[in-house]
């Protein structure tokens, strides 16, 4: 991503316009950008004890293709206190960069957050890409492991994949046959769903592949049944299918 200097750095903003603004740790990245319309009424919850880190991450994700709002908090406890006032959570990005991966309390925290926000997936952002550490966070309930060495576009892709029901692991993570078996096979094609469908459509796709009825899909995704039908019609158009049976057949063929 090309660096663009701010107005202050480029000398276009006079010093007398500068003032101190209080910044809340619950800031939303809800600014306008190209393709500004949101595909999802839920949010990505970013958990990071460092205020600047989490706010910068939220802003950058939204500027690079995340089609959901991003809500930032310092801890799961902070979110719990205000969750009834916030948007429903579609996914959680837990930033543990800078923390020791051999800290036992870290994995207890991952397990706790996973149970707290279920069924929303939890994705871990961390330093390094050691395979054993990656598999360990998955064993504690995470649905993805993003090393800080990747670009922001990959981060957006990983979040989209987790929301769609897959599990993200960087392909360069030195897989061994035994380890690969523990990973959701959807991650073998991390771009398929996000390339064809919106986040919400991808969730409906996963439900259709499991043979779920519209009423069940609506209940699980907290949608109206009529909204589910609209998503299915749009999915059928994209797949050039004429009925649900043909949709299921084409989807299963895609992921074989």
Choose among 114, 203, 204: nearest CA to 160.
203
Its pTM stands at: 0.57
Strands 168-169 and 43-47: unpaired
pLDDT digits (tens, 9 = 90+) for 119-157: 999 999 999 877 778 888 888 999 999 999 888 988 998
pLDDT band at 109 (very low <50, low <70, confident <90, very high): very high
Structure tokens at 54: 């989490």
pLDDT over 50 (residue 25): no
First to last CA, the chain: 34
Q: Give 193's contacts (C-beta < 8 A, 6+ positions apart).
A: 160, 161, 164, 166, 186, 202, 205
Domain boundaries, the chain: 18-194, 199-254
pLDDT digits (tens, 9 = 90+) for 51-63: 999 999 999 999 9
Q: Using the structure block, give the residue that is written with the tokens 């957006």.
A: 156
Structure tokens at 251: 């989807």
- Assess if CATH 1.10.10.10 describes domain 18-194: no
Domains 18-194 and 199-254 are alike in CATH topology: no
Averaged confidence pLDDT in the chain:
76
Q: Which residue did the predictor score with more confidence, 26 or 214?
A: 214
The correct CATH number of 199-254 out of 3.40.630.30, 3.90.1260.10, 3.40.50.10490, 1.10.10.10 is 1.10.10.10
Q: What is the pLDDT of residue 104?
A: 79
- Vertex 49: Cα angle to 45 and 53 (nearest 5): 75
| Contact between 159 and 123 (Cβ < 8 Å) | yes
pLDDT band at 256 (very low <50, low <70, confident <90, very high): low
Q: Please give the Cα distance from 58 to 40 (Å, whole number).
A: 16
Q: Please give the Cα distance from 86 to 64 (Å, whole number).
A: 23
């Amino acid at each position: 991503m090309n660096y663009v200097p701010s107005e202050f750095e480029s000398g276009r903003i006079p010093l007398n316009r500068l003032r101190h603004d209080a910044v809340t740790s619950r800031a939303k990245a809800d600014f306008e950008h190209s393709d500004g319309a949101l595909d999802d009424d839920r949010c990505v919850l970013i958990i990071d004890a460092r205020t600047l880190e989490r706010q910068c991450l939220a802003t950058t994700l939204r500027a690079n293709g995340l089609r959901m709002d991003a809500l930032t908090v310092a801890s799961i406890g902070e979110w719990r206190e205000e969750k009834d006032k916030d948007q429903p959570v579609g996914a959680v990005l837990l930033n543990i960069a800078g923390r020791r991966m051999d800290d036992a309390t870290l994995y207890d925290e991952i397990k706790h957050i996973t149970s707290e926000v279920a069924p929303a997936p939890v994705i871990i952002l961390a330093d390094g890409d050691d395979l054993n550490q990656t598999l360990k966070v998955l064993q504690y309930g995470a649905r993805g492991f993003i090393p800080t060495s990747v670009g922001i576009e990959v981060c957006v892709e990983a979040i989209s994949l987790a929301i769609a029901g897959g599990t993200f692991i960087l392909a360069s993570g030195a897989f061994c046959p035994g380890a690969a078996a523990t990973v959701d096979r959807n991650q073998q094609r991390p771009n398929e769903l996000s390339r064809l469908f919106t986040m919400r459509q991808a969730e409906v796709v996963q439900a259709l592949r499991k043979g779920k009825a519209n009423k069940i899909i609506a209940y699980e995704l907290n949608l109206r049944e009529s909204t589910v039908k609209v998503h299915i019609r749009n999915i059928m158009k994209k797949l050039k299918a004429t009925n649900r049976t043909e949709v299921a057949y084409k989807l299963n063929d895609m992921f074989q």
